[in-house]
């Protein structure tokens, strides 16, 4: 966000900034969703809804799990939330007691650990390496699980690395946590943008605590709509918390979001996913050509985690120089943890291909001067 502010200043001075620092898909909501939103407004569907979301949307999400992932889920276990952030808010409030240790991968999305710590958790950032694709695995859990450890949070695919945990490893990780009477929150908001078989953890652990979102795969970032899937016994607890925290998710957004699961919308989202794959290939090839290393190629989301150690610059200095000289905004690794954070930057390829190609040329010019 700080680099966004600096970029805004440069834009005000007349410069064209290519913003690769924010994970914002450039597509927007599918047309059917836009039509459904207009219909919801025309019909006056703007009143409070149940705190856990309208039944039609909960049922549509359950149907999506059945048709896309082969997992049958009772719609009553699905809570629609005001963004995936609100889903994490509810789960954190329900699960975390002050002093509880919670294990989170380093690097990882910063807001996840901030949610946990705001409820009194002592977040243990577990350093990861390219050997584990920057993800937690059972070996790391065994090393870092302590007497006060109560839970784990895993994002797959991950922000900032774009890497995912294999289905087998994820199942083993969940079993490891369960054997220690702990809880595990699985952040799957980029699941729809994963390569190959996009297998939800619910396929191997039907009682997992799963968070998802309409923001990334469906391109509905500002609509602030997400969901979580929880064991049935947790639903009344989370419902009471939702009633107190935010009353209910946006009513028109919910009615519109039902259309995101229509065949037309899914076909559009799948084509967009294919575009992200093409953009990733363009970025990886371009970075290699200009001498920037990506230790682990991503297999999901729309991020590349770049090792800039060869430049001799710290991540903050590198991002500042690139912004000032090339007018390209990137994100320093310091946002995402401590493990070799100063040696990495994140690039989001959620921008148009023409912008990505131009950004790579600009970065190449900076690299030639280093």
Cβ(237)–Cβ(91) under 8 Å? Answer: no
Domain that holds residue 10: 2-23+265-369
Are 330 and 245 within one domain?
no
What is the mean predicted confidence (pLDDT) over 43-52?
97
Are 76 and 166 within one domain?
yes
Are 277 and 218 within one domain?
no
Q: Give pLDDT, residue 22.
A: 86
Confidence band of 108 (pLDDT split at 50, 70, 90): very high
Are 105 and 181 within one domain?
yes
Please tell me whether the peptide bond between 107 and the residue prior to it is cis, using omega within 30 degrees of 0: yes
Cβ(235)–Cβ(40) under 8 Å? Answer: no
Cβ(226)–Cβ(211) under 8 Å? Answer: yes
Are 303 and 334 within one domain?
yes
Are 300 and 325 within one domain?
yes
Could you tell me the pTM of the whole model? Answer: 0.94
Q: How far apart are CA 161 and CA 296, in angstroms?
A: 8
Choose one of 261, 281, 298: the last residue of a domain: 261
- Judged by phi (left if over 0) then psi (alpha if -120 to 50, else beta), residue 53 lies in left
Q: What radius of gyration, in Å, describes the C-alpha atoms of the chain?
A: 21
Q: How far apart are CA 187 and CA 189, in angstroms?
A: 6
Residue 28 lies in a domain: no
What is the mean predicted confidence (pLDDT) over 101-111?
97
Q: How far apart are CA 209 and CA 47, in angstroms?
A: 29
Are 361 and 332 within one domain?
yes
Are 9 and 75 within one domain?
no
Confidence band of 6 (pLDDT split at 50, 70, 90): confident
Choose one of 261, 278, 309: the last residue of a domain: 261
Q: What crossing angle do the helices spanning 110-118 and 84-95 adopt, rounded to 10°?
A: 40
**Phi, psi (deg, nearest 5) at residue 104:** -135, 140
**Phi, psi (deg, nearest 5) at residue 275:** -65, -40
Are 179 and 308 within one domain?
no
Q: Give pLDDT, residue 234.
A: 97
Are 362 and 321 within one domain?
yes
Choose one of 209, 240, 261: the last residue of a domain: 261
Name the residue with tokens 């991002």: 319
Q: What is the mean pLDDT of the chain?
A: 96
Indicate the length of the chain as a whole number.
Answer: 370
Helical H segments across 13-100, by residue range: 31-42, 55-69, 84-95
Confidence band of 52 (pLDDT split at 50, 70, 90): very high
What confidence tens digit (pLDDT) does each residue in 57-71 have? 999 999 999 999 999
Query: Which DSSP category does 35 fall into?
Result: H
Q: Give pLDDT, residue 283.
A: 98
Are 214 and 341 within one domain?
no
Range name among 22-31, 107-116, 314-323 with the lowest pLDDT average: 22-31
Are 154 and 282 within one domain?
no
What confidence tens digit (pLDDT) does each residue in 255-309 have? 999 999 999 999 999 999 999 999 999 999 999 999 999 999 999 999 999 999 9
List beta partners, residue 328: 18
Give the number of other Cβ atoms within 10 Å of residue 341's Cβ: 18
What is the mean predicted confidence (pLDDT) over 7-30?
91
Q: Give pLDDT, residue 3.
A: 81
Query: Which DSSP category does 320 fall into?
Result: H
pLDDT surpassing 90 at residue 2: no
Domain count for the chain, please give it. 2
Q: Give percent above pLDDT 70 in the chain.
A: 100
């Amino acid at each position: 966000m700080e680099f966004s502010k600096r970029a805004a200043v440069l834009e005000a001075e007349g410069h064209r900034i290519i913003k690769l620092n924010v994970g914002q898909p450039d597509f927007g909501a599918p047309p059917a969703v836009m039509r459904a939103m207009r219909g919801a407004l025309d019909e006056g569907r703007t009143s409070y809804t149940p705190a856990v979301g309208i039944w039609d949307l909960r049922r549509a999400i359950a149907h999506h799990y059945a048709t896309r992932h082969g997992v049958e889920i009772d719609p009553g276990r699905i809570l629609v939330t005001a963004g995936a952030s609100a889903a994490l808010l509810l789960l954190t409030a329900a699960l975390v007691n002050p002093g509880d240790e919670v294990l989170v991968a380093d690097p990882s999305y910063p807001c996840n650990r901030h949610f946990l710590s705001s409820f009194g958790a002592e977040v243990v950032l577990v350093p990861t390496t390219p050997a584990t694709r920057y993800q937690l695995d059972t070996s790391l859990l065994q090393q870092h699980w302590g007497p006060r450890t109560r839970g784990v949070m895993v994002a797959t695919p991950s922000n900032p690395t774009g890497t995912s945990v294999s289905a087998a490893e994820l199942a083993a990780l969940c079993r490891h946590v369960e054997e220690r009477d702990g809880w595990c929150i699985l952040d799957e908001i980029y699941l729809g943008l994963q390569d190959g078989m996009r297998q939800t953890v619910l396929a191997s652990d039907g009682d997992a605590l799963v968070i998802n979102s309409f923001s990334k795969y469906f391109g509905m970032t500002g609509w602030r709509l997400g969901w979580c899937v929880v064991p049935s016994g947790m639903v009344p607890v989370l419902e009471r918390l939702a009633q107190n925290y935010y009353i209910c998710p946006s009513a028109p957004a919910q009615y519109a979001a039902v259309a995101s699961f229509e065949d037309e919308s899914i076909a559009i989202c799948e084509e967009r996913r294919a575009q992200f794959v093409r953009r990733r290939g363009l970025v990886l090839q371009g970075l290699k050509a200009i001498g920037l290393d990506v230790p682990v190629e991503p297999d999901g989301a729309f991020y590349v985690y770049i090792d800039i150690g060869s430049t001799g610059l710290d991540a903050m200095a590198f991002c500042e120089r690139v912004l000032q000289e090339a007018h390209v905004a990137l994100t320093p690794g310091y946002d995402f943890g401590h493990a070799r954070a100063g040696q990495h930057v994140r690039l989001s390829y959620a921008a148009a291909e023409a912008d990505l190609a131009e950004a790579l040329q600009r970065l190449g010019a900076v690299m030639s001067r280093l």
